[in-house]
Amino acid sequence: MHTAPIVIIFGTIVIALILAVLSHRRKKMSLEQWSVGGRGFGVLFVFLLLAGEIYTTFTFLGGSGWAYGTGGPTAYILAYGAVAYLLSYFLLPPVWRYAKEHNLISQPDFFNKKFDSKWLGILVAVVGVVAIVPYLQSQMTGLGLIVETASYGAIHQSVAIGIAMIVLAFYVTLSGIHGTAWTAVLKDITILTVVIIIGIALPMHVGGFHAMFTKINAEKPGFLTLGAKGMGVPWFISTVALTGLGFYMWPHAFGAVYTAKHERVFRKNAIFLPLYQLILLFVFFAGFAAILITPGLKNTNLALLVAVQKVFPGWFVGIIGGAGVLTAIVPGSLMLMAAGTLIAENIYRPIVGNASPKQVQVVARVMVWVVAAVTFLFSIHSNAAIVALLLMGYNFVSQFFPTLLLSIFARRAVSKPGAFAGILVGVAMVVYFTMTKQSLVFGLNSGFWALLVNFIVVLVVSAATRDVSRNQVTSAAQS
Amino acid sequence: MAIRWLTLVPLLFIFVGVAFANHATPIVLGMPFLFFYMVLCIVVTSVCMAIVYKFDPTNKEGK
């Protein structure tokens, strides 16, 4: 009986809950405090909240699994972060400034305010929630996989997911973003240590880095470069562009931007966040080593865990499990909170019309539980489609980018109908490509085509409707 | 503000340079060449952002 891993995993959950309660105690919880931390976070906390986006369960298992199963194309994961952070230097300060000026809480607030259109806000909220559910689901399924494997099958995956969802919903209801930031500190220390240890130990186990890659390259020529399965250089470029631009379009990432104390926080973080990506290398090394340690796995997501089980003692497997729990709780709680706030603040409130702040707050907290329940149902009823769903989510949120970019830097080039048309056309194309299972179109990532068409539609429709809206303004002024 | 154009350097490294770096060998610092090149891109990004941050007049305001 392997009790050590289970004890360590549950110990981690208890510590995370204690941190949530402690961080909550001395703060009065208004909705602004609950979801944007009173806009008082400095460089380090914002760094950790945004870095929390990189080290998710999906990266932990998916990153190593991709290295194991796909090889060279995994390199895109290193590149897109650099593009996203570089972009953040220019993009985030104006977003933050506008949000502070108008006391905005969420992403749809931003679009609503910019275009003075409650329905645009509602559209953005709906697309955001739709994109969040599969993302959250992939985290939870990964978590279930970790707990099941780390407990050597003693805890079944669906039980693990169920426990995780309840813990997460409890956690979010109790503490809001303060709890997340503190758990992020704990999570980052644990995951950094664990990832570096296995990223060095596993390659050493198969004869060292140089020998390992030489052997893989000899066994599978072409595996360590771009080009396999149609994923060549054009695929790399379009995918890095798509995910780099979409990075901050996630409602929870956009919301995390509001927590900063000052806009310089983002510019400073743009220096250090790219370097933080380098830790991912160790995740890939572990995945590559698994090719030689445990070849021929059907479920590539299990590569890291199975390799670790073969090489390390039981208690260490428990630590990996604990780290895995934390990598799910930090992004998971951000996403759950974002979903709750989106539904309450940006769908419920504008439709009901005269809801009190108290009511909105209650709806937000109830919705956290509803979204958790929905995600749980999806998680236990689906299997391999998770990665497809996750990419669909990414393709969805990146459709906000053209409108957002123009609304900040060339407000006059985009009109309200243009914004609607662009987002709707982009989202429709993403749905079509996903339904017909086309992830590659003419060698480029299909989501990139949707983004491109979206951009053109925004510009064309805005140009066509601009005169109309100007006439309306003049006639309104005259009457 | 002209210093901000420096951010084009890492973008060229990533989006254009990759076409020339798509090799498994030589293995550099224990990594296949493509992965080593990605590490180089990240370091270049970080260095460029540090220089931009240092010289961008926007970051001097209200200190």
Helix intervals (H) in A382-445: 386-397, 401-409, 416-435
| DSSP letters for A449-479 | HHHHHHHHHHHHHHHHHHHHHHHHHHHHHH-
Within-domain flag for B62: no
How much is the average pLDDT of B7-35? 86
Q: Say if CB A13 and CB A187 are below 8 A apart.
A: no
Contact A89 B7 (CB under 8 A): yes
> Is B46 in contact with A274 (Cβ distance < 8 A)?
yes
ipTM metric:
0.90
Cross-strand pairs, A425: none
Specify if B35 maps to a domain. yes
pLDDT of residue A328: 78
What's the average model confidence in pLDDT over A219-225? Answer: 85
Percent of chain B with pLDDT over 70: 94
Tell me what pLDDT residue A162 has: 84
Residue A296 has pLDDT above 60, yes or no: yes
The reply to whether B27 touches chain A by the CB within 8 Å rule is yes
Tell me, yes or no, whether B61 lies in a domain: no
Q: How close, in Å, is residue B35 to chain A by CA atoms?
A: 6
CA distances from A174 to A16, A39, A349, A370 (A): 12, 19, 22, 16
Q: Which residues of B touch A85 (CB under 8 A)?
A: 45, 49
> Is B9 among the domain residues?
yes
User: How does residue A474 score in pLDDT terms, banded at 50, 70 and 90?
Assistant: very low
The range of the structural domain enclosing residue B24 comes to: 2-54
pLDDT value for A384:
44
Helix, strand, coil shares, percent, chain B, to 5:
70, 5, 25
Residue A172 contacts residue A337 (beta carbons within 8 Å): yes
pLDDT, one tens digit per residue, over A385-418 is: 455 566 778 888 999 999 999 888 888 888 888 8
The pLDDT > 90 percentage for chain A reads 8
CA of A43, closest CA in chain B: separation in Å?
Answer: 14
Q: Is residue B22 part of a domain?
A: yes
User: What string of DSSP letters covers A270-321?
Assistant: HHHHHHHGGGHHHHHHHHHHHHHHSTT-SSGGGHHHHHHHHHS-HHHHHHHH
Min Cα separation B55/chain A (Å): 12
- Does residue B60 sit within a domain? no
Tokens read off for B4:
């901000």
Alpha carbons A451 and A249: distance in angstroms, whole number:
13
What are the residues whose beta carbons fall under 8 Å from the beta carbon of A189, sequence distance 6 or more? none
Number of domains forming the structure of chain B: 1
Quote the CA–CA distance of A422 and A459 in Å, as a whole number: 8
Contacts of B58 in chain A (CB under 8 A): 267
How many CA atoms does the CB half-sphere of A32 hold within 13 Å? 10
Which of the residues A236, A240, A276 would you substitute to probe the B interface, choosing the one with the greatest number of B C-beta atoms within 10 Å?
A236
Q: How confident is the model at residue A420 (pLDDT cuts 50, 70, 90)?
A: confident
Of B19, B22, B30, which has the smallest distance from its Cβ to A210's Cβ?
Answer: B30
- Mention every residue, 6+ apart, whose C-beta is less than 8 A from residue A454: A399, A402, A422, A423, A425, A426, A429
Q: In this structure, what token pair is assigned to residue A69?
A: 């199963």
Q: What is the pLDDT of residue A200?
A: 92
Q: Check if the beta carbon of residue A269 is closer than 8 Å to that of residue A106.
A: no
With CA atoms as reference, report the closest residue to A368 among A393, A347, A339: A339
**Position with higher pLDDT, A20 vs A314:** A314
Q: What is the reported pLDDT for A425?
A: 93
Domains of chain A by start residue, with CATH: 3-385 (1.20.1730.10)
Eight-class DSSP state of A442: T
- Does B63 map to a domain? no
